[in-house]
Amino acid sequence: MQRTLSLLTPSGHLTLGNLLGALRPMAAAATAAPAGCFYGVADLHAMTTPHDPGRLRALTAETATLMLAAGLDDATVFVQSRVPAHAQLAYLLECTATTGELGRMIQFKQKAGDESTRAALFTYPALMAADILLYRPDQVPVGADQRQHVELTRDLALRFNRLYGPVFTVPELVLPTAGARVMRLDDPARKMGKSDADEAGVVLLLDPPDVVRRKVARAVTDSDTGPDAVRAAPDKPGVSNLLDVLAACGGSPEGLTTYGALKRAVTDAVVAELEPLQKRYAELAADPGHVASVLEAGAARCREVAGPVLAEAQSVMGLGPS
Ligand code: TYM
Can you give the pLDDT at residue 157? 98
Residue 116 sits in the same domain as residue 175: yes
CATH code, domain carrying 221: 1.10.240.10
Q: Measuring from atom 27 of ligand 1, which residue has the nearest CA?
A: 7
Query: Any bridge partners for residue 174, and if so which?
Result: 141
User: What is the model's pLDDT at position 112?
Assistant: 86
Q: Indicate the burial class of 164 (C-beta count within 10 angstroms; 0-12, 13-18, 19 or more).
A: middle
Residues 69 and 164 in one domain: yes
Measured CA to CA, the distance from residue 305 to residue 300 in angstroms comes to 9
Q: Which atom of ligand 1 is nearest to the CA of 146?
A: 20
Compute the half-sphere exposure of residue 306: CA atoms within 13 Å on the CB side of its CA.
Answer: 26
Full residue range of the structural domain in which residue 261 is found: 209-282
Whether 80 lines ligand 1, by a CB cut-off of 6 Å, is: no
Strands 76-79 and 172-174: unpaired
Verify whether residue 236 is a known catalytic residue: no
What type of residue sits at position 273? E
Q: Whose CA is nearest to atom 33 of ligand 1?
A: 6
- Geometric angle at alpha carbon 193, from 170 and 86, rounded to 5°: 35
Distances (CA, A) of 257 to 2, 49, 222, 283: 43, 44, 13, 39
Q: Is 181 in the pocket of ligand 1 (CB under 6 A)?
A: yes
Q: Domain for residue 305, yes or no?
A: yes
Rg of the chain (C-alpha set): 20
CATH code: domain of residue 146: 3.40.50.620
Output the residue whose Cα is nearest ligand 1's atom 5: 8
Our count of domains for the chain comes to 2
CA neighbor of 48 nearest in space, from 189, 149, 147 = 149
Domain-embedded: residue 202: no
Q: Are residues 119 and 140 in the same domain?
A: yes
Phi, psi of 41 (to 5 degrees): -100, 115
For ligand 1, atom 4, name the residue with the nearest CA. 8
Are residues 307 and 85 in contact, defined by beta-carbon separation less than 8 angstroms? yes
Q: What is the mean pLDDT of the chain?
A: 96
Pair 134, 238 in one domain: no
Using alpha carbons, list the distances in angstroms from residue 152 to 21, 98, 106, 166, 291.
20, 11, 12, 17, 33
SS3 8: strand
pLDDT digits (tens, 9 = 90+) for 187-234: 999 999 998 878 889 999 999 999 999 999 999 998 888 888 999 999
Residue 223 confidence (pLDDT): 85
Same domain, 11 and 96: yes
Residue 53 within any structural domain of the chain: yes
In the chain, % of residues over pLDDT 90: 92
Q: Are residues 63 and 35 in the same domain?
A: yes
Domain assignment present for 185: no
**Domain-located, residue 190:** no
- In this structure, the number of other CB atoms found within 10 A of the CB of residue 138 comes to 17
Please report how the helices 119-133 and 85-94 are oriented relative to each other, as an axis angle in degrees rounded to 10.
110
Task: Supply the pLDDT for residue 179.
Answer: 97
Mark whether 194 is an active-site residue: yes
Model pLDDT for residues 43-57, shown as the tens digit of each residue: 999 999 999 999 999
Q: Is residue 273 part of a domain?
A: yes
**Quick one: average pLDDT of 240-255?**
96
Is 215 one of the annotated active-site residues of the chain?
no
State which of 9, 48, 182 you would mutate to test the pocket of ligand 1, scoring each by most atoms of that ligand within 8 A of its C-beta.
9
Q: Please check whether residue 22 lies inside any domain of the structure.
A: yes
Check whether 96 has a pLDDT greater than 80: yes
Q: Is the pTM of this model over 0.95?
A: yes
53-88 residue pLDDT tens: 999 999 999 999 999 999 999 999 999 999 999 999
- Give the model confidence (pLDDT) of 156-168 as tens digits: 999 999 999 999 9
Of the listed ranges 34-38, 109-113, 313-317, the one predicted with least confidence: 109-113
Q: State the average pLDDT over residues 18-32.
A: 97
> Could you give the dihedral angle defined by the CA atoms of residues 33, 35, 36 and 42, in that order, rounded to the nearest 10 degrees?
120
Does 240 reside within a domain? yes
Residues 226 and 165 in one domain: no
Distance CA 20, CA 269 (A): 12
Do 170 and 298 have their domain in common? yes
Residues 126 and 224 in one domain: no
- Which pLDDT score, from 0 to 100, does residue 87 have? 98
Rounded Cα distance between 175 and 204, Å, is: 21
Same domain as 174, residue 222 = no
**Separation between Cα atoms, residue 62 and residue 54, nearest integer Å:** 12
The one catalytic residue among 191, 215, 236, 263 = 191
In angstroms, what is the span from residue 257 Cα to ligand 1's centroid?
A: 34
Q: Which amino acid is at 179?
A: G
Ligand 1 atom, smallest distance to 179 CA = 12
159 and 307 co-located in one domain: yes
Cβ of 128 closer than 6 Å to ligand 1, yes or no, is yes
Q: Whose CA is nearest to atom 22 of ligand 1?
A: 142
